[in-house]
């Protein structure tokens, strides 16, 4: 049988790719990528020529089955996303899960990840944190989600789009309070920027251009209306851990 390699790729600076990742991409039979037009630029930069197939949000379920069948037939496949580590707020977990269920080998080639990069540079507590992907795009749903999270004492890490960053920070200030935040923009790229301070201090300085990671300090005192533990959060949301796990990896709809 073949092996599925989950390969992390740069989130901006191409020099961040590991020699092991490059070797893997050169040696596999097939590269499954989120967007072939994006991945071909990476492959061309490093002189790699390999067959590619698209694996994205809209074909993930059907494609996972197809790829698993290829792996069962001894093919080696590298799974990559447009940037960072596959299956982390990107497509990927379904094919990994299918491989685990069928006893097919899965090897992770670790590397860049925007959430952990921003957390490491934030200066906020990192001994306990919760990655929450993208908040809901609609204001009411977003504020409800933040209310559910308001009592958690761990550091919170979110991804956000440029056209929503200003309203998201406004909602965070209103619902979570004027907490310490780090807003990271365009990580590892030419215009990389970190903004530190309270939400009210950071909001006027944010430029709504590029890709964002928002790191928010945890609650310092309990709020009566909000749950205080992860188990209470799950109960409030009416989810099991497996359902929450699935939501984490649907881009734009993660908890």
Can you read off the two tokens belonging to residue 146?
């933040």
More confident residue, 234 or 96: 96
Instruction: Tell whether 255 is covered by a domain.
Output: no
Decide: pTM greater than 0.85: no
d(CA 252, CA 255): 9
Domains in the chain, number: 2
pLDDT at 44: 97
Nearest residue to 215 via CA among 154, 141, 143: 154
Query: Does 126 score more than 90 pLDDT?
Result: yes
Instruction: Tell whether 135 is covered by a domain.
Output: yes
Can you read off the two tokens belonging to residue 187?
């990580």
**If you average pLDDT over residues 11-37, what whole number do you get?**
96
Rounded percentage of the chain residues whose pLDDT exceeds 70: 86
Question: Of 62-66, 227-231, 242-246, which has the strongest mean pLDDT?
Answer: 62-66
Domain boundary, last residue among 78, 109, 140 = 109
Confidence of residue 217 (pLDDT cuts 50, 70, 90): very high
Confidence of residue 91 (pLDDT cuts 50, 70, 90): confident
Q: Are residues 156 and 53 in the same domain?
A: no
**If you average pLDDT over residues 157-179, what whole number do you get?**
97
Query: Does 132 score more than 70 pLDDT?
Result: yes
Q: Are residues 122 and 210 in the same domain?
A: yes
Burial zone of 205 (CB within 10 Å; 0-12 exposed, 13-18 middle, 19+ buried): exposed
**If you average pLDDT over residues 124-152, what whole number do you get?**
96
pLDDT at 97: 94
**Would you tell me how many other CB atoms lie within 10 Å of the CB of residue 246?**
16
More confident residue, 232 or 130: 130
pLDDT digits (tens, 9 = 90+) for 186-214: 999 999 999 999 999 999 999 999 999 99
Domain boundary, last residue among 58, 81, 109 = 109
pLDDT at 4: 97
Q: Are residues 17 and 88 in the same domain?
A: yes
Confidence of residue 226 (pLDDT cuts 50, 70, 90): low
- Cα distances from 75 to residues 3, 86, 136, 247, in angstroms, run 7, 19, 38, 29
Domain boundary, last residue among 56, 75, 109 = 109
pLDDT at 255: 37
DSSP bridge partners of 107: 5
More confident residue, 114 or 245: 114
Q: Are residues 127 and 220 in the same domain?
A: yes
User: Where in the sequence is the domain holding 229, given as residue range(s)?
Assistant: 114-248
Query: Does 27 score more than 70 pLDDT?
Result: yes
């Amino acid at each position: 049988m073949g092996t599925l390699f989950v390969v992390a790729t740069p989130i901006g600076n191409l020099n961040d790719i590991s020699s092991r990742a490059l070797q893997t991409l050169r040696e596999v039979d097939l590269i499954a990528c989120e967007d072939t037009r994006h991945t071909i630029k990476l492959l061309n930069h490093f002189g790699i020529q390999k067959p590619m197939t698209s694996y994205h949000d809209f074909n993930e379920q059907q494609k996972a089955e197809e790829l698993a069948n290829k792996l069962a037939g001894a093919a080696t496949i590298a799974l990559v996303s447009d940037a960072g580590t596959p299956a982390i707020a990107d497509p990927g977990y379904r094919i990994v899960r299918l491989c685990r269920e069928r006893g097919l080998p899965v090897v992770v080639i670790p590397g860049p990840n925007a959430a952990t990069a921003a957390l490491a540079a934030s200066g906020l507590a990192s001994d306990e944190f919760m990655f929450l992907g993208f908040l809901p795009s609609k204001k009411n749903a977003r504020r409800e989600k933040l209310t559910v999270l308001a009592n958690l004492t761990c550091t919170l890490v979110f991804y956000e789009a440029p056209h929503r960053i200003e309203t998201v920070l406004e909602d965070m200030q209103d619902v979570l309070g004027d907490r310490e935040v780090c807003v990271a923009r365009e990580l590892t790229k030419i215009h990389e920027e970190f903004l530190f301070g309270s939400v009210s201090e950071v909001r006027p300085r944010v430029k709504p251009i590029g890709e964002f990671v928002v790191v928010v300090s945890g609650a310092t005192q309990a709020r009566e209306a909000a749950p205080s533990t992860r188990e209470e959060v799950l109960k409030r949301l009416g989810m099991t851990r497996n359902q929450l796990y699935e939501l984490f990896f649907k881009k734009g709809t993660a908890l």
